Structure 1
Amino acid sequence: MSSDETAATGWPARLQAEWLLLLFGAVAIALALLDPQPLASYQRWLQLPTLSGLLGLLIAIQGIRDSGLVQHAAAVLAARTHSVRKLGLLLVTATALLSMVLTNDVSLFLIVPLTVAIGGMSNLPVMRMVVLEALAVNAGSTLSPIGNPQNLLLWQVARIRFLDFVAAMLPAASVMLLLVIALTWLWLPRDRVDLDVSQIDRRGNSVSLALLSAIALATMVLMMEHGHAELGALMLLLPFALISWRTLADLDWLLLLTFAAIFLGLGHLAELPLVRHALDRFDFGQPLTLYAGGIVASQLISNVPATVLLLDRAPDPIALAVAVNVGGFGLAIGSLANLIALRLAKQPQGLRLLHLVSIPFLLACAPLAWLAWRWLG
């Protein structure tokens, strides 16, 4: 079979595997036909700054992968850590700490490729680690006003100092982090790290590509922090097109389409009159109602759209922040970070394993985080 024929048969098979893209694409198209809206509404729902930021991060991380830097760092880390459990705790802790300062998605873009590379040369259980890292970014980013999009929005609405926001979120975030660390300790084996040296890529690293990609990553984070994600992504396209066009060719473009479909579908759904009228029946001035509502809404439409949906109805933005951050656990759609982690790992049965762990985690975490916030907050 020719390469053209292979490509022709490969794309339908690949699209069939992209069930999230197909599902939310269908939802977005159906809502657009049933409830047409002005172009400005679709532009708002599409969240171009978020998509541009994701594109820039994908370019930078793909460049780091292509440079061989991740593989080299993985070999060094695996060789110097003797216990699978200790290695897992190190990766989970690093993921949580990074998510506090670099946002949850940036943390995953850095740690998950490293985890996959380590798993390829050792007995580290990759999918278990990716699930733990998805939980860790949700927990770690809860503490910081800049850890995730919903915190950034609610921090600005609350109009309080950075450290005051941290102090308010500390009780709930501490519960989440302790539960993630306990799960990591119990779930990972105490076996020694078995490093398979034959799996280590001996090819030389591209120092120039690694340097370009590291600069690109730092630049993209800064541009996102200052609200210039679109410009940042455009700034990265030209140098990579000239120096490493294969990096652009290897990007996960379908991931971008998937997020665009999710944003359009969920954004439109959240603003349907039927949905808004249903919400009017609840008294979100009651703390427990707001807490439960934020968690349930996050499970249905993801925690960032849930934040936007409930923002005008929530008298206390900090209470809403606690709710939607807890709502990031449970179903994969609860936090877009979950979907990013699964996509970066590309492991079989990843979604199933995430749900087997994350749903019970939500059921355990929700009451404990509520008690901690109400008693200590």
Structure 2
Amino acid sequence: MIVLAIVFLLIAVRQWFRFPLRIWQIMLGGAVAVLLFFQITPGNALAAINPDVMVFLFCMFVIGEALCRSGYLDTLTNAFFRYAHTSRELVFFVLFGFGAFSALLMNDTVAIIGTPLVLGIASRSRIPAKLMLLSLAFAITTGSVASPIGNPQNLLIAVNSGMHTPFVTFAVWLLLPTLASLCAAWIVLSLYFRKDWKTAFSYEPPSEIPHDPALVRIVQCSLVILIGLTIANISISFIAAAIVIPLPLIGLAAALPVLVFSSQRFDVVKSIDWTTLIFFAAMFVLMAAVWETGFFQSLAGIAGVSSVPAILATSVIISQFISNVPFVALFQPLILQAGGGTARLMALAAGSTIAGNLTILGAASNVIIIQQAEARGETITFTEFAKVGVPLTLIQIAMYAIFVTLI
């Protein structure tokens, strides 16, 4: 618990140092510390690293890097944002566009693809990079709430609870408050960035787009496979009431054209964001050690599972410390033992996901965005994120509490 507290503190104040620490370095230090102090055995540490998540992220990084190298990302950007004329319209497109994508492609995937896209827009306009990064972070966290494949914790809830037609269930319970929450994000960002809110915007592609026609065709093939298999998963869920195509398999199938047929395969693999993969592996080790203490399991039990507001509040708070996926893994059985109920499960899905809007550590997608942004010379500090994220999260949680309770 001391190691976890130090990790959390260092991430919060890392910009104060003369040579700022990276988030992945801090998390790796925490993982090494719990190993050195024998808080987890090497065997348990290795077993804690989730291969499904690591494989899926690696494959998405491959597709994202190939998108950038081919120049096709700029083509997509031009098609998507050409109708925005001011920064407020641009933020609206980011919130609802990327929010919709995250519901279909999983929020971590959209974070990987979206970060270089929004930073490219910021670099060619007078719109602050921080506004674009925060808009992306809030979009993909909030948008992923309404889908069982929007994020890993929703997938866990849909599969382990034996939920029939999970896409319909999530849509009925969470789609409307999610749309309202995206509107709330637009309003909160407008208040915080009011000086930049009416800045004129006209997307102009970079003067020299690195264009590789062969790689463009390969990337298009990868995107067709990725979206096609995702739609197949959704369609099958209506018939079989289950998600039958594993996410790692979808990722591998989509990345395969780049890894097999591209002449730039080695350059692509060399250039992907390996530090974020290190962060995830280290996070799994540290969180497994924290899990073995039983501390947060006892807190979850004390909080209770009887009411929707209690589940929402507990989800938001504890997810900051042990990440939302481990939290759902420990809390979902308590809800099922207490009699389950769709309302409680939907509150768990909403709370554990919206927790990502409170602080940087509330969602892995936030870390992916910041890691990629720092590699390109931009960042958001812990305090800058919380100034906007805390009021937004309080508003959004109230929306979900009211809607889930009334339905």
Using the size of structure 1 for normalisation, the TM-score is 0.84
Q: Percent identity?
A: 20
Say whether residues 1:193 and 2:195 are aligned partners.
Answer: no
Residue in structure 1 matched with residue 186 of structure 2 by the alignment:
181
Q: 1:143 to 1:73 in 2, by over 3 A?
A: closer
Q: Which of 239, 242, 246 is the equivalent residue of 1:227?
A: 246
Deviation at 1:302, TM superposition (A): 1.8
2: CA distance between counterparts of 1:80 and 1:170? 25
Q: 1:17 to 1:239 in 2, by over 3 A?
A: farther
**Which stretch has the larger CA shift, 231-240 or 325-334?**
231-240
Q: 1:48 to 1:166 in 2, by over 3 A?
A: same
Q: 8 Å contact 2:218–2:257 — kept in the other structure?
A: no
Q: Which of 341, 357, 361 is the equivalent residue of 2:369?
A: 341
SS at match of 2:357: coil
2: CA distance between counterparts of 1:359 and 1:340? 20
Q: 8 Å contact 2:221–2:257 — kept in the other structure?
A: no
Residue in structure 1 matched with residue 38 of structure 2 by the alignment:
34
| Structure 2 counterpart of 1:340, one-letter code | I
Deviation at 1:349, TM superposition (A): 4.2
| Structure 2 counterpart of 1:93, one-letter code | F
Deviation at 1:374, TM superposition (A): 1.3
| Structure 2 counterpart of 1:96, one-letter code | G
SS at match of 1:327: helix
Residue in structure 2 matched with residue 8 of structure 1 by the alignment:
none
Deviation sequence 1:238-275 (CA, Å, 0-9, x none): 42774342222221111110111112211331232344
Deviation at 1:185, TM superposition (A): 4.8
Q: 8 Å contact 1:84–1:192 — kept in the other structure?
A: yes
**Which stretch has the larger CA shift, 72-81 or 297-306?**
72-81
Q: Which of 348, 366, 375 is the equivalent residue of 1:320?
A: 348
Deviation at 1:168, TM superposition (A): 1.7
1: CA distance between counterparts of 2:398 and 2:247? 38
Deviation at 1:150, TM superposition (A): 0.9
Residue in structure 1 matched with residue 147 of structure 2 by the alignment:
144
2: CA distance between counterparts of 1:237 and 1:98? 22
Q: 8 Å contact 1:59–1:248 — kept in the other structure?
A: yes
| Structure 2 counterpart of 1:373, one-letter code | V
Residue in structure 2 matched with residue 249 of structure 1 by the alignment:
270
Q: 8 Å contact 2:45–2:285 — kept in the other structure?
A: yes
Say whether residues 1:101 and 2:101 are aligned partners.
Answer: no
Q: 1:19 to 1:84 in 2, by over 3 A?
A: closer
Deviation at 1:79, TM superposition (A): 5.7
2: CA distance between counterparts of 1:330 and 1:298? 10
1: CA distance between counterparts of 2:79 and 2:147? 30
SS at match of 1:314: helix
Following superposition of structure 1 onto structure 2, how do residues 164-313 of structure 1 map, counting pairs within 5 Å? 164-186=169-191, 187=193, 188-193=196-201, 200-203=206-209, 205-219=211-225, 226-227=245-246, 229=248, 232=252, 235=256, 238-239=259-260, 242-313=263-334
Deviation at 1:232, TM superposition (A): 1.2
SS at match of 1:350: coil
SS at match of 1:82: coil
Residue in structure 2 matched with residue 71 of structure 1 by the alignment:
74
1: CA distance between counterparts of 2:202 and 2:358? 32
| Greater than 6 Å deviation, 4+ residue runs | 221-225
Q: 8 Å contact 2:324–2:352 — kept in the other structure?
A: yes
Say whether residues 1:361 and 2:385 are aligned partners.
Answer: no
Structure 1 residues not aligned, in runs of 5+: 1-15
SS at match of 2:358: coil
Using the size of structure 2 for normalisation, the TM-score is 0.78
**Which stretch has the larger CA shift, 167-176 or 60-69?**
167-176
2: CA distance between counterparts of 1:55 and 1:236? 14
SS at match of 1:312: helix
Residue in structure 1 matched with residue 241 of structure 2 by the alignment:
none
Deviation at 1:182, TM superposition (A): 2.4
Paired residues in the alignment total 358
Deviation at 1:357, TM superposition (A): 1.1
2: CA distance between counterparts of 1:167 and 1:75? 33
2: CA distance between counterparts of 1:216 and 1:306? 33
| Structure 2 counterpart of 1:338, one-letter code | N
| Structure 2 counterpart of 1:191, one-letter code | T
Deviation sequence 1:128-161 (CA, Å, 0-9, x none): 0110111111111101111111111111233132
1: CA distance between counterparts of 2:31 and 2:291? 12
| Structure 2 counterpart of 1:168, one-letter code | W
Residue in structure 2 matched with residue 56 of structure 1 by the alignment:
59
| Structure 1 counterpart of 2:399, one-letter code | L
Deviation sequence 1:344-371 (CA, Å, 0-9, x none): 3335341343222112212332233212
Q: 1:165 to 1:368 in 2, by over 3 A?
A: closer
Q: 1:334 to 1:222 in 2, by over 3 A?
A: farther
Q: 8 Å contact 2:23–2:371 — kept in the other structure?
A: no
Superposed CA RMSD in Å reads 2.8
Residue in structure 1 matched with residue 404 of structure 2 by the alignment:
373
